[in-house]
Chains A and B, each alone.
Chain A
Amino acid sequence: MLTTAPHLYLRRPSPTTAEFTVTTCPPLTIPLRICLLTISLLRAAIFAAAITTIYSRFFHEPSHPSPITSVPVADLLYQGDLLLLASHLLQALHSSPPGQFLASITQPLSNSGLAVIASVITYFSLFTQLHTTESLLVLRGLGIQTSTSSSSFSSPIPNTSDGSNRWRGWKWWFWGTTPTKTRFIPTEKIRDVLINEAFRGFEVRYYLIVIVEGEEDIVVVFPRLLPGRKIVEEVWRGVRGCLYEGDPNHQSLGGSWGQTGTIGRKDN
């Protein structure tokens, strides 16, 4: 429900500029938004629980009186003493009933076991990614840009009820969103854009490649999602029509896409 098979979105404000986005995130409906919000809250709770467990096992000093009542939080924030603030927060969490409960159920675990488990949980609660989005931006006269990003909470998908594409600028704000990796290839260096096929496991995958002049590697478009042949073909037609000037029919006749050679997929 949270993810779908990779599907394609197209943005084309003018005939000479197009962006093809392939993503695993379904369109953001209200239930999905609520679901994503719940998941993020759950993750925050798990993260807090893991950190509190580590704190109460390794850093908590029982003799230390609870100072949370004496020092207001606002003052600490104002002073910029974040370390003290964090320790106070953890102290409060530890002394709260859920914190005590956590400490009591983790009692039988050994120190090292607890440390390992808690840090693994912390890592996964921070860095698990739900959706992967990859896009290809084609600018006539300039070149092609591939980009890849993964996000765990909000989705970078346009709200596509009417095809209007509103990308939220605040999407990078969230946790766990890996920064977009982009690669720009100037048109001058593009030798060709092709669809290739390769064996992967027991299946044949079709994938879009860009052959770059003067480089020993080819550039695979949508390297993580590797969408199916239908999407790839659509993107390929769009790229051919958008990238080059002149008669698009002639162009698409010129480079037929059926490839005979098979090569192993380059790991990149």
Chain B
Amino acid sequence: MPENDGLMRIFWPADLPRSDLRGVVVGWRNSALDVFVLAILEEVEPRNVDSALKLGTLTRNAPHPVSRIYELCGQSSLHILGLSNTSDDVQIDPSWIRATTGPSIRVPIITCARASNIQIILFERPLPGRMQYISLSPIALALGDKHETFRIGLSDGADEADEREERLKKVKKKKLVEKLKQHSVFKRTPSAKERALPKIVNQINWAWELEKLMQKNVSRIGTRPKRSLSVSERVVESATTMRDIVLVWLWNLVTVYVLPVIKRLFVMGLMAHRIAAEVLLTVLEWRARPKYAALKDISATAQQVEIRLQQFCYWPMQYVTLRLRKNDWESVTTSHPDYIRFYNSLWLVANDVIIGIALGSYIIDNSSWLAGEISHLLTQYTVEALQSSISWLMGWPAGLKLNSELALFLGDLFLWVIEYWSSCIETLRPVLPHMIWFIGFSSFAGASMPIALFSDLTSILTIHIYSFYLASARIYHWQLNILISLFHLFRGKKHNVLRNRIDSCDYDLDQLLVGTILFTLLFFLLPTVVVFYLNFAIARMVIISLKAVFDTMLSFLNHFPLFALMLRIKDPGRLPGGIRFELRDTQDFRHALNDTTKPIPSTSVIHLKSIPLSFKAMFHQYFQMGHRIRKHYLSPRVLLCLLTGKFVPPLDRRNLYSLQYSMLPARRAGIMEMWNAVSSLPSPKRRTAPVYIPALANGRRYPSNYGGGRSRSYG
């Protein structure tokens, strides 16, 4: 045997009932010396268990197809692994194990003829009914990785430099690691035991359900004397059968005639909504040209509406997936992340609506007061503060002697525009209470709507500041550029555009003279332009940070992992973040066996535990978003842009919102797809009259069973 180093690996459920009765250990045999214990069947003969395993008696009455178990656990059949609590003189197969357990023995004592040393790996079985499971990799709370598609779409100048730099760094690191890898001289081929780990994880997830199933069927093993029912038992049986038949008849009446009608009506309503949503989504996503921005890229409100509609389109699909889960074994863990995502988004929307109702009723009740406050704020900060600061700049601010004529000209220009803008706001003022009322009303669709609307309102009502910023930045930027090229002229050089370098150049005297005069002139005018530019740039930055606050609030309302957090506190087993092993002491283990003199092979006791998902991993996407925002706005590049008067591009909404879209599929399911999915839902099962199955306990309490379990045939 290639892997015969005498190491035996035994996976043993730590919460398996401990008793000192004789028993047969049943489980999976992954390879010769790698076994996985599922159950101990007590007081049965190994011979009978063997035949029962071959006939499949132990998995009878399974609620779902049995082949699924074998498929997912990676084995073709269950095996007898050994005997528990047998005396030493019983002859057993050399590959079988002898286990000694008992109520006082915490860790089973195991010997095997073939093994020279043993690893006992104890694990707590996750309960599939509570949707607990373990996995090797952390559970994914966000839908698969499709950020790449987002990235490709938006690689426009601004972020490109950063991305390239990051990619270069990655490549460099990869090279270093590759170099390290070359140091290993030869590559090992992993043995069967080492490759079995993913399979074993599945087997651990199945352990609970399979053990229950087998213990239920233990009573069918072996032949039992038949016994007919007594008279009183017959009376009880026929009475319960009568009751069950009536109940089943009533149930069938409801499911056959009432439920389908209700269901059909509901599906019709759903499809009508879906079609309306499709139309709206098409409007929101319409782009005049592929490169142009769609409505949802410009406005926060449109984006919010789009997210809600997308969620609405996705929910039925998610629900169908979750419904299909019921038709399978509980131990199939593939849909558990879907479950968490579905309820997280439902819960967030419900929360959003609840907060929205509170907020909305407050806004509606106080709409006139709010409108007054807002118009007051508008006049105070976007008109009067700007006016006063411009007047301050016109009159030698902070003792700086600016060029009065230029300052007067620029200030008059801006003041004139502000004057015009304030008259616009005056005409808007009577409409403002109605707008506020509308915003309050919209918040019944969720608190995120008024926030998005306020965000849009801010951008619309401060559009003059934006244009001032653009204009002054442009002027400043031009002046700076002219200054630089004139400085080259002053030094007798010039910028060669063809080769992108500075060349020497012989200027004429008059050229030099005019250039120098212009240079001096522009240089002395520069401070005046700078102060105006700085004024508007600061105002612009304040508005950007205000909008960032709104966006943060929106992202919390739309994507906070509320359900996952609750699960993490309530039942960490449902959010697996990997596994870990703990080496236990073998001292007490040896003491327990001090009465015997036989040598036990050197044994290490290891506990396998599931690590709950870390909080950091839960908020991973927030960290990612924070990182992206920080890199975009707090980088030296932005500072350079501010200093040279180049336009600071706002962070692309698509980039910012990749967080929010991470819980939605990249491509939404079409109308027909949804129709097919919804109508493919299995109808509730038509119940047949239940067969009376006597409740049989494990074989030891009722050595001779009543009811004659083998004479009946069960579906």
> Are A14 and B119 in contact, with the CB atoms below 8 A?
yes
Interface flag for A81 (CB, 8 Å):
no
> Are B184 and A19 in contact, with the CB atoms below 8 A?
no
> Are A139 and B119 in contact, with the CB atoms below 8 A?
yes
Interface flag for B580 (CB, 8 Å):
yes
> Are A184 and B585 in contact, with the CB atoms below 8 A?
no
Which residue on A lies nearest to B580, using beta carbons?
Answer: A182
Classify the secondary structure of B's interface with A: mixed
Which residues of chain A (234-255) have a CB below 8 Å from chain B? Answer: 244-246, 254-255
Residue among B186, B188, B193, B195 with the most chain A CB within 10 A? B188
Interface flag for B420 (CB, 8 Å):
no
> Are A14 and B117 in contact, with the CB atoms below 8 A?
yes
- A137 touches which of B5, B583, B586 (Cβ 8 Å): B583
Residues of A within 8 A of B184 (CB): 191-192, 194, 211, 255
Q: How far is the CA of A245 from the CA of B174 in the complex (A)?
A: 30
* Chain A, interface residues (CB within 8 Å), range: 35 or more
Interface flag for B715 (CB, 8 Å):
no
Interface string of B177-200 (1 = CB under 8 A from A): 101110111111011011101000
Q: How far is the CA of A19 from the CA of B170 in the complex (A)?
A: 34
> Are A255 and B194 in contact, with the CB atoms below 8 A?
no
Residues of A within 8 A of B119 (CB): 14, 16-17, 139-142
Q: How far is the CA of A196 from the CA of B176 in the complex (A)?
A: 12
Distance of B197 from chain A, by nearest CB (Å): 5
Interface flag for A98 (CB, 8 Å):
no
> Are B181 and A14 in contact, with the CB atoms below 8 A?
no
Interface flag for B160 (CB, 8 Å):
no
Interface flag for B526 (CB, 8 Å):
no
> Are A263 and B583 in contact, with the CB atoms below 8 A?
no
> Are B117 and A16 in contact, with the CB atoms below 8 A?
yes
> Are B185 and A255 in contact, with the CB atoms below 8 A?
yes
Interface flag for B173 (CB, 8 Å):
yes
Interface flag for B143 (CB, 8 Å):
no
Distance of B116 from chain A, by nearest CB (Å): 9
Interface flag for A40 (CB, 8 Å):
no
Interface flag for A122 (CB, 8 Å):
no
> Are A13 and B177 in contact, with the CB atoms below 8 A?
no
> Are B580 and A141 in contact, with the CB atoms below 8 A?
no
Q: How far is the CA of A255 from the CA of B606 in the complex (A)?
A: 29
Given A13-B602, A184-B581, CB of A194 within 8 Å of CB of B188: no
Distance of A12 from chain B, by nearest CB (Å): 8
Distance of B186 from chain A, by nearest CB (Å): 6
Which residue on B lies nearest to A194, using beta carbons?
Answer: B183
Given A16-B7, A166-B585, CB of A259 within 8 Å of CB of B183: yes
Which residue on B lies nearest to A251, using beta carbons?
Answer: B188
Interface flag for B313 (CB, 8 Å):
no
> Are B185 and A216 in contact, with the CB atoms below 8 A?
no
Q: How far is the CA of A182 from the CA of B577 in the complex (A)?
A: 11
Residues of A within 8 A of B193 (CB): 141
> Are B136 and A186 in contact, with the CB atoms below 8 A?
yes
Interface flag for B118 (CB, 8 Å):
yes
Residues of B within 8 A of A124 (CB): none
> Are B583 and A141 in contact, with the CB atoms below 8 A?
no
- A16 touches which of B179, B181, B186, B604 (Cβ 8 Å): B604
Residues of A within 8 A of B197 (CB): 142-143, 186, 188
Given A140-B7, A211-B184, CB of A15 within 8 Å of CB of B583: no
Interface flag for A165 (CB, 8 Å):
yes
> Are A211 and B181 in contact, with the CB atoms below 8 A?
yes
Distance of A109 from chain B, by nearest CB (Å): 34
> Are A254 and B186 in contact, with the CB atoms below 8 A?
yes
Q: How far is the CA of A6 from the CA of B186 in the complex (A)?
A: 33
Given A216-B170, A245-B5, CB of A14 within 8 Å of CB of B602: yes
Distance of B119 from chain A, by nearest CB (Å): 6
Interface flag for A164 (CB, 8 Å):
yes
Distance of A249 from chain B, by nearest CB (Å): 15
Q: How far is the CA of A255 from the CA of B177 in the complex (A)?
A: 17
Interface flag for A145 (CB, 8 Å):
yes
* Chain B, interface residues (CB within 8 Å), range: 35 or more
Distance of A160 from chain B, by nearest CB (Å): 13
Which residues of chain B (174-230) have a CB below 8 Å from chain A? Answer: 174, 176-177, 179-181, 183-188, 190-191, 193-195, 197
Residues of A within 8 A of B53 (CB): none
> Are A145 and B580 in contact, with the CB atoms below 8 A?
yes
Interface flag for B3 (CB, 8 Å):
yes
Residue among B5, B187, B194, B603 with the most chain A CB within 10 A? B194
Which residue on B lies nearest to A164, using beta carbons?
Answer: B587
Interface flag for A261 (CB, 8 Å):
yes
Interface flag for A209 (CB, 8 Å):
yes
Q: How far is the CA of A11 from the CA of B587 in the complex (A)?
A: 12
Interface flag for A167 (CB, 8 Å):
yes
> Are A184 and B578 in contact, with the CB atoms below 8 A?
yes
Q: How far is the CA of A183 from the CA of B602 in the complex (A)?
A: 26
Q: How far is the CA of A187 from the CA of B604 in the complex (A)?
A: 18
Q: How far is the CA of A164 from the CA of B590 in the complex (A)?
A: 13
Residues of B within 8 A of A194 (CB): 180, 183-184
Residues of B within 8 A of A37 (CB): none
Distance of B433 from chain A, by nearest CB (Å): 42
Q: How far is the CA of A143 from the CA of B604 in the complex (A)?
A: 15
Which residue on B lies nearest to A147, using beta carbons?
Answer: B580
Interface flag for B678 (CB, 8 Å):
no
Interface flag for B248 (CB, 8 Å):
no
> Are A217 and B177 in contact, with the CB atoms below 8 A?
yes
Residues of A within 8 A of B5 (CB): 16, 245-246
> Are B586 and A13 in contact, with the CB atoms below 8 A?
yes
Which residues of chain B (543-585) have a CB below 8 Å from chain A? Answer: 578-581, 583, 585
Q: How far is the CA of A14 from the CA of B121 in the complex (A)?
A: 13
Residues of A within 8 A of B285 (CB): none
> Are B183 and A192 in contact, with the CB atoms below 8 A?
yes
Q: How far is the CA of A265 from the CA of B117 in the complex (A)?
A: 39
Interface flag for B341 (CB, 8 Å):
no
Interface string of B6-19 (1 = CB under 8 A from A): 01010000000000
> Are A209 and B604 in contact, with the CB atoms below 8 A?
no
- A141 touches which of B179, B194, B601, B602 (Cβ 8 Å): B194
Which residue on B lies nearest to A167, using beta carbons?
Answer: B585
Distance of B595 from chain A, by nearest CB (Å): 21
> Are A188 and B602 in contact, with the CB atoms below 8 A?
no
Interface flag for B34 (CB, 8 Å):
yes
> Are A15 and B602 in contact, with the CB atoms below 8 A?
yes
Residues of B within 8 A of A139 (CB): 119, 581, 606
Interface flag for B648 (CB, 8 Å):
no
Given A17-B604, A141-B7, A218-B180, CB of A165 within 8 Å of CB of B117: no
Distance of B107 from chain A, by nearest CB (Å): 12
Distance of A74 from chain B, by nearest CB (Å): 29
Q: How far is the CA of A11 from the CA of B191 in the complex (A)?
A: 25
- A186 touches which of B3, B173, B180, B194 (Cβ 8 Å): B194
Q: How far is the CA of A163 from the CA of B675 in the complex (A)?
A: 69
Interface flag for B611 (CB, 8 Å):
yes
Residues of B within 8 A of A256 (CB): 185
> Are A261 and B179 in contact, with the CB atoms below 8 A?
yes
Interface flag for B480 (CB, 8 Å):
no
Interface flag for B432 (CB, 8 Å):
no
Distance of B212 from chain A, by nearest CB (Å): 27
- Partner-A contacts on B (CB < 8 A): 3, 5, 7, 9, 34, 117-119, 121, 136, 170, 173-174, 176-177, 179-181, 183-188, 190-191, 193-195, 197, 578-581, 583, 585-587, 601-606, 611
Q: Which 6 A-B pairs have the closest CB atoms?
A: A192-B184, A17-B604, A14-B602, A13-B604, A182-B580, A187-B194
- What are 22 A-B pairs with beta-carbon distances under 8 A? A13-B583, A13-B586, A14-B604, A16-B117, A17-B606, A137-B581, A141-B9, A165-B585, A166-B585, A167-B585, A186-B136, A187-B194, A194-B180, A194-B183, A194-B184, A211-B177, A216-B174, A216-B177, A217-B177, A246-B5, A254-B185, A263-B180
Extra contacts, 18 of them, besides A140-B7, A184-B578 (Cβ < 8 A), are: A13-B586, A13-B602, A14-B601, A16-B7, A141-B119, A142-B121, A142-B194, A182-B580, A182-B611, A188-B197, A194-B183, A211-B184, A216-B173, A216-B177, A217-B177, A254-B185, A255-B184, A256-B185
